[in-house]
Chains A and B, each alone.
Chain A
Amino acid sequence: AQSVAQPEDQVNVAEGNPLTVKCTYSVSGNPYLFWYVQYPNRGLQFLLKYITGDNLVKGSYGFEAEFNKSQTSFHLKKPSALVSDSALYFCAVRDANRDDKIIFGKGTRLHILP
């Protein structure tokens, strides 16, 4: 069965510094990987995805993520954090060979310090 691990409950970064939110996954087939962001009392907003092709994918709001097959990771990154990036971030995976549901990680709360 597929699973997603986000090892950090919270990440604190000073404004202007680079940020990384970690994600590792487990699927039996090919992974489709996603990052979503959730602001307070809001739904999930899609940030970026990896389906195939370049391992480095770029998404909304200056975020990017790198697919690393050997490490089964899909870490979210941004070169320079903004206070407005403070939110809850979810990594998610779909097993391309099996089914269409998305399995979410437990989420990482990103706190950008002004």
Chain B
Amino acid sequence: EPEVTQTPSHQVTQMGQEVILRCVPISNHLYFYWYRQILGQKVEFLVSFYNNEISEKSEIFDDQFSVERPDGSNFTLKIRSTKLEDSAMYFCASSSSVYNEQFFGPGTRLTVL
């Protein structure tokens, strides 16, 4: 069964450093998403991406965040200058259409020291 994959599973970084979180969505999906989950809290929407552009973003997704689909398979989330409060589990998701469920990857745990 096809699945969304994410790398790395755990990323530790120093405050102020740039990080890139990588995702490989399900191959025939067209809609891509990033969510985050701060420990013990609910899952929060960050950004959606379709047709090589951002279709929607939340207020969390400020200028420090960017997304990119550099080739036909990867979907990345970049945080330019990490802050302590960026520490969270980051989930990538994809779906075949806006009417269908989103399939989530296993997540990347980001720890900012």
Contact = CB atoms under 8 A, between A and B. Distances in A.
A90 interface: yes
Contacts, number: 54
Contacts of A51: 99
B73 interface: no
B91 interface: yes
Contact of B56 (A43, A46, A90, A101): A101
Given A43-B107, A104-B35, 17 more contacts: A32-B99, A42-B106, A42-B107, A44-B93, A45-B104, A46-B102, A90-B42, A90-B43, A96-B99, A100-B56, A101-B48, A102-B45, A102-B102, A104-B45, A105-B42, A106-B41, A107-B43
Given A43-B107, A44-B104, A46-B103, A100 B91 contact: no
A50 B106 CA distance: 24
Interface of B: 4, 31, 33, 35, 41-45, 48, 50, 55-56, 58, 91, 93, 98-99, 101-107
Contacts of A101: 33, 45, 48, 56, 58
Contacts of A43: 4, 91, 104-107
Contacts of A103: 45
Interface in A28-87: 32, 34, 36, 42-46, 49, 51
Contacts of B35: 104
